């Protein structure tokens, strides 16, 4: 998947242009976000514990996907190893709660910081690697982390993992554990999405995209490629780490088997299906990776992955730019025809 083809650049320009425009220029877009948020906030009153738990998973996935999309979609650095950061985030939270009895709220923050540092340090030497070579280097990270976790058995509990208790709702709120976790995750998700949106629509965002599209030109314009790339790696890892931390709380258990190589591939699948280099794509991708494997299993117990593969191929054929790109296209068609009707043409 070499970047820099005409189509991708154009989409990126359009997306960047759209992102640059303030909220006021796009009343319909704002309305859509409000509707989505309203639905998100009211879900706990519609759904039972199990369904709500699934949507908590969707939210954590969407944070991780957004993190990966920052790196891969916007900055053009391929990672097959983000499951590793997800695992590091989850273990940071689990170890802090289990060993030191630290409040879970803090552990989420620390998980983000730990992954930021690890991601930055990994991103530094990885600067020398491009495209597929970087993908392989990150792949090795995903392979190594579950074993490293087993090695530090004193801290990580080895392959038995660490069992946690689910956090109870604070301030005497009469929420179930599932409802509280959902709201906590939703709040973190909203904050991280707003931050990412803010980051990408400004100067920094343009620099990140410019490096992906043509790193020599970017360098010539005075962008410090090395610094940007490793910082983006760190931020991306931090997002994914926070997602891991939230998932550890929701599942109340961590084990090396939870963070196998399939997780990293699932995340990459999510951003491609959701929409490369789009913010909303993270949410669509998260819905996909959470629910489609389950549907595949309901359709066929014998070969769920074959069914999942068919879903993937169909999606890629019908929506080559991911779900976000597809919806964008539909949106443009609709508004364009509305405008032309108004003008009586």
Partner 1 sequence: MRLFTRFIALLLVGGLATLAGAGASGAQTVVGVTPTEIKIGNTNPYSGPASAYGTIGKVIGAYFKKVNDEGGVNGRKINYITLDDQYSPPKTVEMVRRLVEQDQVALLFQTLGTPPNSAIHKYVNQQKVPHLFVATGATKWNDPKAFPWTMGYQPNYQTEGRIYAAYVLKNMPDAKVGILYQNDDYGKDYLKGFEDGLGDAAKKLIVMRQSYEVTDPTIDSQIVNLKNSGANVFFNITIPKFAVQAIKKANDIGWKPLHFLNNVSSSLGTVLKPAGLEASRGLITALYMKEITDPQWKNDKGFTDWVAFMKKYYPEGAMDDQSNAFGYNVAILMTQVLKQCGNDLSRENIMKQAASVKDFELPLLLPGIKVNTSPTDHAPIEQEQLAKFDGEKWALFGEVLDAFRK
Among 83, 87, 161, 275, binds partner 1 (CB under 8 A): 161
SS3 253: strand
Torsion of CA 140, 143, 145, 148, to 10 degrees: -100
If the CB atoms of residues 34 and 136 are measured against partner 1, the closer one turns out to be 34
Nearest distance, CB of residue 62 and partner 1, angstroms: 16
**Is residue 160 within the footprint of partner 1 (CB under 8 A)?**
yes
Helices (H), the chain: 6-20, 27-46, 49-68, 82-100, 104-126, 131-151, 153-156, 177-201, 203-213, 215-220, 225-251, 261-274, 281-299, 304-318, 322-342
CA 18 to chain centroid: 21
**Is residue 42 within the footprint of partner 1 (CB under 8 A)?**
yes
Among 10, 14, 26, 51, binds partner 1 (CB under 8 A): 51
**How many other C-beta atoms lie within 10 A of the C-beta of residue 154?**
8
Nearest distance, CB of residue 301 and partner 1, angstroms: 7
**Is residue 316 within the footprint of partner 1 (CB under 8 A)?**
no
**Is residue 11 within the footprint of partner 1 (CB under 8 A)?**
no
The footprint of partner 1 on residues 81-140 (CB under 8 A) is none
Q: 213: which residues sit within 8 A by CB, 6+ positions away?
A: 3, 4, 8, 9, 12, 76
Among 21, 99, 133, 165, binds partner 1 (CB under 8 A): 165
Nearest distance, CB of residue 335 and partner 1, angstroms: 22
* Nearest Cα to Cα of residue 58 among 268, 235, 250: 250
Contact residues toward partner 1 (CB under 8 A) are: 23, 30, 34, 37-38, 41-42, 44-45, 48-51, 53-54, 57, 147, 150, 158-161, 163, 165, 173-175, 179, 183, 247, 251-258, 260, 262, 297, 301, 304-305
């Amino acid at each position: 998947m070499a970047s820099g083809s005409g189509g991708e650049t154009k989409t990126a320009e359009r997306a960047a242009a759209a992102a640059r425009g303030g909220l006021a220029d796009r009343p319909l877009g704002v309305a859509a976000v409000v509707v989505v948020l309203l639905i998100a906030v009211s879900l706990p009153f519609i759904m039972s514990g199990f369904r709500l738990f699934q949507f908590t998973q969707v939210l954590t996935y969407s944070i991780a996907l957004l993190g990966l999309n920052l790196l891969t979609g916007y900055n053009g650095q391929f990672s097959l190893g983000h499951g590793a950061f997800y695992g590091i985030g989850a273990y940071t939270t689990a170890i802090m709660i289990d060993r030191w009895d630290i409040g879970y709220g803090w552990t989420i923050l620390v998980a983000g910081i730990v992954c930021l540092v690890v991601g930055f340090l990994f991103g530094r030497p990885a600067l020398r690697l491009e495209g597929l070579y970087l993908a392989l280097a990150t792949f090795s990270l995903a392979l190594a982390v579950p074993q490293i976790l087993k090695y530090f058995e004193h801290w990580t509990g080895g392959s038995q993992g660490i069992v946690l208790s689910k956090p109870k709702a604070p301030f005497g709120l009469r929420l179930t554990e599932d409802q509280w976790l959902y709201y906590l995750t939703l709040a973190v998700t909203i904050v991280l999405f707003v931050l990412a949106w803010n980051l990408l629509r400004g100067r920094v965002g343009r620099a990140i995209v410019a490096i992906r599209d043509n790193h020599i030109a970017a360098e010539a314009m005075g962008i410090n490629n090395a610094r940007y790339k490793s910082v983006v790696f760190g931020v991306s890892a931090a997002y994914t780490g926070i997602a891991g931390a939230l998932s550890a709380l929701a599942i109340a258990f961590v084990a090396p088997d939870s963070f196998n190589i399939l997780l990293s591939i699932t995340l990459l699948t999510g951003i491609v299906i959701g929409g490369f280099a789009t913010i909303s794509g993270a949410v669509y991708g998260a819905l996909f990776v959470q629910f489609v494997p389950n549907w595949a299993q309901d359709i066929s117990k014998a070969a769920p992955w074959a069914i999942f593969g068919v879903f993937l191929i169909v999606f890629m054929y019908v929506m080559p730019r991911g779900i976000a790109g597809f919806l964008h296209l539909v949106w443009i068609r609709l508004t364009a025809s509305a405008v032309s009707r108004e003008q009586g043409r």
